[in-house]
Amino acid sequence: MTLHLRAAWHRVEHSRLLRWTVAVLAVVLVIEYVVLPQLVGSGNVVSAVLRLPLSLVLCALLLEAASLAAYSWLTREVLPGDRRPGFFTLFRIDLADLAVNHTVPGGGTTSAAARFRLLTRCGVQSEDALSAATVQVVGANLVLAGLFGLGLLTVHGASAGGRYLTIAGAVVLVLLALSIAVLTVLDRHLAGAVHAVRAVARAVRIVSPASAEQFVRTIAGEVQMLRRDPRRLAAAVVLAALRYVLDAACLWLFLAAFGHVLHPAELLLAYSLANLVALVPLTPGGLGLVEGVLVPMLVAFGAPDHAALLGVLSWRLVQFWLPIPAGGLAYLSLRLGILRRTRKRPRNEGSGAALTAAGHSQPGD
């Protein structure tokens, strides 16, 4: 709920030494026990990237920047009302969000609290920030699941996906169908949904019935807003798809640079499955999980071992590690700019709604 988000941000903001200590220790432990073992026998990934043509590296950087830009434009599309920050401000907020998400183990909740706080400090009403974040994360994950389903259907006749891949596809498609059904119920049967969620809240006693109802009504309002504006809904779906397709294109580029041209359907299938697995909040940004899924799948699809390993690790260098210092600089620019100007303004009060879905991992969130 919003109070929990505010409490999480308050603890982070007022315990800077603890925050930085945990972040540094997390990075050191991840490098020591996750990254370095993957690099044994594969050579130096940074050196391998530096040996690539400069034009190719710049193209990869542009693809990642465009992927993040698409996500920031998606934020503008789903934010209700007229008090929306500019694109450059949202872009920096998303970079800062990625930096937190990629350095704190299970950092989705902390990064969601930080992103919520930055949005409200930049003029977004707390209710609008809550509903937009929830719809954005849920919608983007639905699009990712849809891409996985598309890849599975496309690649099924050309490559042997295996029984486990088929089972995973069935599970993802079932979850996708259930999510669409839930959104449909919220849109067309709101009264019944409110009654059900209040009953559940009274039974589990984790959140109050009033907070649960407000959360459901907030999400329903956002869904109805998008339904009433087909152009906005179409733009949101396209931008969410672009966020992943551009990121996947960066991976494809590195794989091709190291000697293996992957079929687009196989790329889409491997990429989307790895990012769906990364939604499990076990490591920062799915570090180790993404690589552990992607490399074997690419090898199964015919990529040589060295091309799969170097291609994935080079992509993660750009997609995972580079946003950490970039996000720190983005946050610093916000602190010296718009946050300084709004520091003395009254702060928005929370709505008391839950934001469990906002604990996103931009898979790459």
Q: Which amino acid is at 19?
A: R
What is the maximum span of the chain, computed from C-alpha positions, in angstroms?
A: 61
Task: Work out whether the CA dihedral 257, 258, 262, 268 comes out positive or negative.
Answer: negative
Q: Is 118 exposed, middle or buried (0-12, 13-18, 19+ CB in 10 A)?
A: buried
The predicted pLDDT at position 352 comes to 40
Cβ density class 211-231: b for 16+ within 10 Å, e for less: bbbbbbbbbbbbbebbeeeee
Location of structure tokens 């193209």: 59
Whether residue 34 is contained in a domain is answered as no
Whether residue 18 is contained in a domain is answered as no
The pLDDT tens digits along the chain (365 residues) read 555 555 555 554 455 555 555 555 555 555 544 554 554 444 567 788 888 999 999 999 999 999 999 999 998 888 876 668 889 999 999 999 888 888 876 556 677 778 888 888 888 887 778 778 877 887 888 888 888 888 877 875 444 445 656 666 666 677 667 777 777 776 677 777 777 878 877 887 777 777 777 767 777 776 776 677 788 788 888 999 999 999 999 999 999 999 899 999 899 989 998 888 887 777 777 888 888 889 988 988 889 988 998 999 999 999 998 998 999 899 888 888 777 766 655 444 444 444 444 444 454 44
Whether residue 304 is contained in a domain is answered as yes
d(C-alpha 171, C-alpha 315), whole Å: 27
Closest CA to 9 of 166, 85, 119, 91: 119
Whether the Cβ atoms of residue 275 and residue 320 lie closer than 8 Å to each other:
no
Whether residue 340 is contained in a domain is answered as yes
Measured CA angle at 346 (ends 82, 84), to 5 deg? 20
CA 354 to chain centre: 18
Whether the Cβ atoms of residue 226 and residue 132 lie closer than 8 Å to each other:
no
Whether residue 133 is contained in a domain is answered as yes
Whether the Cβ atoms of residue 308 and residue 38 lie closer than 8 Å to each other:
no
Domain span including residue 185: 43-358
If one counts the domains in the chain, the total is 1
Task: Return the number of other C-beta atoms located less than 10 Å from residue 41's C-beta.
Answer: 9
Whether residue 114 is contained in a domain is answered as yes
d(C-alpha 131, C-alpha 158), whole Å: 41
Whether residue 28 is contained in a domain is answered as no
Whether residue 66 is contained in a domain is answered as yes
d(C-alpha 25, C-alpha 223), whole Å: 40
The predicted pLDDT at position 252 comes to 96
